[in-house]
Amino acid sequence: MRYRKIPDEAVWRLPMYLRGLLLSLEKSQETISSQELADFFGVHPWQIRKDFSYFGAFGTPGVGYKVKKLSTQIKKILNLHVSHKAVLVGAGNLGAVILAYPGFKIYGFEITAVFDNNPQKIGQKIENISIKDVSKLSLIKRQKIDLGIIAVPRKAAQEVADRLVEMGIKGILNFSPCRINVPKKVKVITIDIAMDLARLPYYIPSS
Amino acid sequence: MRYRKIPDEAVWRLPMYLRGLLLSLEKSQETISSQELADFFGVHPWQIRKDFSYFGAFGTPGVGYKVKKLSTQIKKILNLHVSHKAVLVGAGNLGAVILAYPGFKIYGFEITAVFDNNPQKIGQKIENISIKDVSKLSLIKRQKIDLGIIAVPRKAAQEVADRLVEMGIKGILNFSPCRINVPKKVKVITIDIAMDLARLPYYIPSS
DNA sequence: CTGTGTGAACCCATTCACAGCC
DNA sequence: GGCTGTGAATGGGTTCACACAG
């Protein structure tokens, strides 16, 4: 296929497809059609085929997609075929939940360092990782860590982000309810639980 | 303005604008221009004006928007002008974080009931709310609860969702990494941390 | 005959540009 | 003069329909 601009929306959906595929893989399903995948997510089959087509032709006409092969392809597209190391800043309640969250593994993520500024926490261990002083963030330079997870109070978020960027982090998952400014080369995704919840009542007929 | 279909995207952005406005309000700022708001979020001013225009005309030409008035208007649009009660199902680590999360208050949310299926947890209190047996979910019928938050393992998510729908819940914030099926009248927003993280590496030049 | 891949058509959100009001 | 509000133009994502491969 000749080059065409790939919609961000398509990229956005790939991890969703991937999760479905990995689930099918667990069930030892060998092939899957765009129709099956679509039913699974509640989208249209042509959307899925089109999304894939931006990146190449992965299926077999008349048959469908090889689950194993397709999931490998998508991982490669998303840069998930190599495992990624992440650093977590903020070892509070939220931080502990993130550390314990099993879901990262299936995409090949590993949190290999944890920092906090609370002297009481520094030195302690959670999930077998010892918490280090955030002022020593430069320690991560020795490791190949390219992702940062911010789980600190809002006021500290920007400062932490700045430090992470200094250390060469390329992507940030931000749990603080605020926008953080970073150089364009760094990708930030912010998760704001309260804001997501705030989107629900609009769709609810006022009682 | 005469009727026109309102893009979902515009609705999606309103809570973001609202957060910025509430922040300005804290700083006792009286008026704000679309330009200022736009700079704050890193979007374009005409985007903001257009978004508002779908719902009415809230500003004053040559001046801008009254922060207080505009935030009230947006709250009304989003159905946030009345406070909402939510029920939390799943009192594990994640559940505890959600309960302790201060961010819900600014949008007028209150978690008034918590359920779990773990006998060890039932009867205990977190954040002054006692955990009840999930089999007694029907207790919430007496209260006016219209939102549900699901923080249980994936396998249990669909069942919990079904129960919540039975109880008349109108919107669900789902933290389980899976799609859940509900009647069309019920709005579901799923937050899948791992999936969000999985979206980052695509934008990172492979090292 | 089944299911993929894709140019073309369509639709809708974004962007523009400017009229209108303070 | 400054800033909003909005039709019109643009641009791009989605949907369609069908050629083609198995």
Q: Is the CB of A49 under 7 A from strand C?
A: yes
How confident is the model over A99-115, as a mean pLDDT? 95
Average pLDDT of chain A, as a whole number: 95
* B6-61 pLDDT, tens digit each: 999 999 999 999 999 999 999 999 999 999 999 999 999 999 999 999 999 999 99
- Nearest-by-CA chain B residue for A174: B197
Strand partners, A200: none
Protein residue nearest nucleotide C1, by CA to C1': A62
**Gap between the Cα atoms of A85 and B82, Å rounded:** 43
CB contact under 8 A, B173 and A189: no
**Gap between the Cα atoms of A92 and A102, Å rounded:** 18
Are A169 and A87 contacting, i.e. CB atoms less than 8 angstroms apart? Answer: yes
**Gap between the Cα atoms of A110 and A100, Å rounded:** 11
What are the tokens at B180? 């859940």
| B2 — pLDDT class (breaks 50, 70, 90) | very low
| A2 — pLDDT class (breaks 50, 70, 90) | very low
Q: What percent of chain A has pLDDT over 90?
A: 96
- Nearest-by-CA chain A residue for B196: A189
What residues in A contact B98, CB-CB < 8 Å?
A: 193
What residues in B contact A147, CB-CB < 8 Å?
A: 197, 200-201, 204
Q: How far is CA A54 from the centre of its chain?
A: 21
Q: Report chain C positions within 7 A of protein CB atoms.
A: 1-7, 12-17, 20-22
* A21-54 pLDDT, tens digit each: 999 999 999 999 999 999 999 999 999 999 999 9
The pLDDT value given to residue B1: 43
* pTM as predicted: 0.94
For the sheet with A125-126, list strands across it.
A125-126, A129-133, A109-116, A84-89, A147-150, A171-174, A187-190
The pLDDT value given to residue A4: 65
The pLDDT value given to residue A3: 53
Q: What percent of chain A has pLDDT over 70?
A: 97
CB contact under 8 A, B195 and A15: yes
* B147-159 pLDDT, tens digit each: 999 999 999 999 9
* B97-146 pLDDT, tens digit each: 999 999 999 999 999 999 999 999 999 999 999 999 999 999 999 999 99
Identify the architecture of domain B8-77 in CATH.
Answer: Orthogonal Bundle (1.10)
Measure Cα distances from B177 to A198, B170, B200 in Å.
Answer: 20, 20, 17
List the Cα angle A30/A32/A34 in 5-degree steps: 165
Are B150 and B166 contacting, i.e. CB atoms less than 8 angstroms apart? Answer: no
Residue identified by tokens 């990624």 is: A84
Domain ranges of chain A: 8-77, 84-193
**Gap between the Cα atoms of B200 and A189, Å rounded:** 8
How confident is the model over A166-179, as a mean pLDDT? 96
The DSSP annotation for B43-104 comes to: S-HHHHHHHHHTT----BTTTBEEHHHHHHHHHHHTT-SS-EEEEEE--SHHHHHHHH-GGG
| B3 — pLDDT class (breaks 50, 70, 90) | low
Phi, psi for B131 (deg, rounded to 5): -80, 130
The pLDDT value given to residue A80: 97
The pLDDT value given to residue A5: 86
Closest CA to B30 of B68, B70, B75: B68
- Smallest Cα distance from B170 to chain A, Å: 6
**Taking a contact as any Cβ pair under 8 Å apart, which residues of chain B between 84 and 113 contact chain A?**
84, 86, 93-94, 96-98, 100-101, 103-104, 106-107, 109
CB contact under 8 A, B147 and A197: yes
The pLDDT value given to residue A205: 77
Asked whether the predicted pLDDT for residue B207 surpasses 90, the reply is: no
* A130-146 pLDDT, tens digit each: 999 999 999 999 999 99
CB contact under 8 A, B103 and A196: no
Identify the CATH class of B84-193: alpha beta
Q: Which of residues 65-94 of B touch strand C (CB under 7 A)?
A: none
Asked whether the predicted pLDDT for residue A114 surpasses 60, the reply is: yes
Using the 8-state DSSP alphabet, how is residue A170 labeled? -
